[in-house]
Structure formats: C-alpha cells, structure tokens
C-alpha cells in the first residue's frame, strides 16, 4: 500500500473515530481512549512496511498464532470475544 493510500485510509478512519469521540466529554475515559486509538492508528500506518495492515488482515480473518492469542490474553483482550 502506498503512503498516499495509507493517508487516505487514516483520514477515513479518523473521521469515524472523531464522530464517535464527539459523543463523549473530552475529559471522559472513552474520549481519551478513542483519541489514543486514532494516534496509534496514525503511528501504525506511518511506519515503514505494511506489517500493521498485514496483522490487521490476519486478525480480521482470525489467523492468529497461539503465541499472538496468548499475548493478547495477557493484555486482557480475548480475541474470541472481539466483534461479537
């Protein structure tokens, strides 16, 4: 994916995140979390290579290795419950 494509993807996603964040007070935990998610998305997309997009695609397909599943669970994220 080209740098331009990544910027366009970020702009589309950031607009959605901004709409969701606007439903909460700026000092709320929800607003802060959404703002940090937008920053993390930009950071991930602005790095060289397409590792983030590859991992995102694998996540969407459910292609996580046992090690990745264990790591996510150690962070308090159960990949089996995401998207349900």
| pTM score | 0.63
Tell me what the mean pLDDT of segment 26-32 comes to: 94
- Mean of all residue pLDDT scores within the chain: 86
Closest CA to 21 of 4, 38, 5: 38
| Coil, strand or helix at 71 | helix
| Coil, strand or helix at 49 | coil
Distance CA 29, CA 53 (A): 27
Tell me what the mean pLDDT of segment 6-31 comes to: 94
Residue 72: per-residue pLDDT: 84
Residue 82: per-residue pLDDT: 60
Q: Looking at the predicted structure, is the pLDDT value of residue 3 above 80? A: yes
5, 54 in Cβ contact below 8 A? no
Q: Looking at the predicted structure, is the pLDDT value of residue 65 above 90? A: no
Give the position of tokens 């950071």.
43
């Amino acid at each position: 994916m080209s740098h331009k494509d990544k910027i366009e993807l970020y702009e589309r996603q950031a607009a959605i995140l901004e709409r969701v964040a606007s439903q909460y007070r700026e000092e709320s935990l929800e607003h802060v979390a959404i703002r940090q998610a937008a920053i993390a998305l930009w950071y991930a997309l602005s790095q060289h290579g397409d590792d983030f997009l590859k991992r995102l695609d694998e996540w969407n397909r459910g292609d996580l290795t046992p090690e990745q599943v264990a790591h996510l669970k150690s962070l308090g994220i159960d990949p089996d419950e995401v998207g349900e």
